[in-house]
Amino acid sequence: MNESQAMQRALQRAARARGLAEPNPLVGCVLLRGGKGPATGEILGQGHHERFGADHAEVNALDDARSRGHDPAGCTAVVTLEPCAHTGKTPPCADALIAAGVRRVVAAMTDPDPRVSGRGLDRLRAAGVDVAVGEGQAPARELNAPFIKKVTTGLPFVTLKWAQTLDGATATSTGHSQWISGPASRRRVHELRACADVVMVGSGTFLTDAPRLTARDVEVRRVARRVVVSRRGAITPEQAGDIEVMAEPLEQGLRRLASEGATHVLVEGGARLNGELLSAGLADRVLTFLAPSLCGDPAALGPAVLGPCATMDGVKKLWLRHVERVGNDVMLDYSVGDPR
């Protein structure tokens, strides 16, 4: 196995902890025999950061190698994120790699966390470890987009999710929307809720649909905070029950959620909230479940209220990241803003 293949393995390992490791980043590590220049050879050990507060990926990979009877001295550590150099809930990973005698470290990217931000790589280099950065950087950044957004901006990563007919209706003219998408798509939404920190709706959706906003019939990795946005007093705490009411301006409310540990907010409508988040530059991703149906009602509701648009030059542009068939629907995964 070469370093590129090992990085792909490390990324796959890292993704296993989605919904478990946050607000920490998702990190995977693979140890390869050989450490003089680019390594190609046997996997000695591998691991990932399994959950918040637990050992980091590098330590788990070192432990895995030793449990298999391998001495990691002289090996190459292929890791999806710069090894940390600070003491948090666990000791610095850079120190663990140095103490183990690792000769080369291949990191997909530097850690944007100000507590690290190159310090781990500097510590490795100072100890005589050969360091290379950049292999697998694009998928590593995508994997940890919520973590990166939070530590660099103080805001959580925001995903807008909606289901729509082929002609763009998210509800009929009476507000009826259950169900546009099929069972497979609805299950996928429950899986998204089961890994999110916050599930959010606007007051109109709350009053019309009375959504539970819970993850059901799937493995629940995180119990998301349920939030309804009501800045004009449309929803009282008594009406909301055990769902939190967010009454402050959107950006202020999102910053508060991030300060309280949220890295990923899943927004499930409605059109006005979606439009405000898009217009304010607060949304990062759009997931659209496109159903094979036509509403045909000229008064039907759409997914986002963005205001008047006289020409196509004024439309909000998205960038398609991924297309997937989900049951009889199609899931379109978009980035908000040019991802390049």
**Catalytic residue numbers?**
58
Q: What is the distance of C-alpha 163 from the center of its chain?
A: 20
Give me 306's structure tokens.
Answer: 């963005």
Alpha carbons 180 and 268: distance in angstroms, whole number: 14
Q: What is the distance of C-alpha 310 from the center of its chain?
A: 35
Number of neighbouring beta carbons within 10 Å of residue 125: 13
Alpha helix ranges (H) inside the chain: 3-15, 57-67, 93-100, 119-126, 137-143, 145-153, 183-193, 203-209, 237-240, 250-259, 271-279
Give me 339's structure tokens.
Answer: 């991802």
Number of neighbouring beta carbons within 10 Å of residue 121: 22
Alpha carbons 65 and 84: distance in angstroms, whole number: 20
Residue 261: left if φ>0, alpha if ψ -120 to 50, beta else—which one? left
Q: 3-class SS at 171?
A: strand
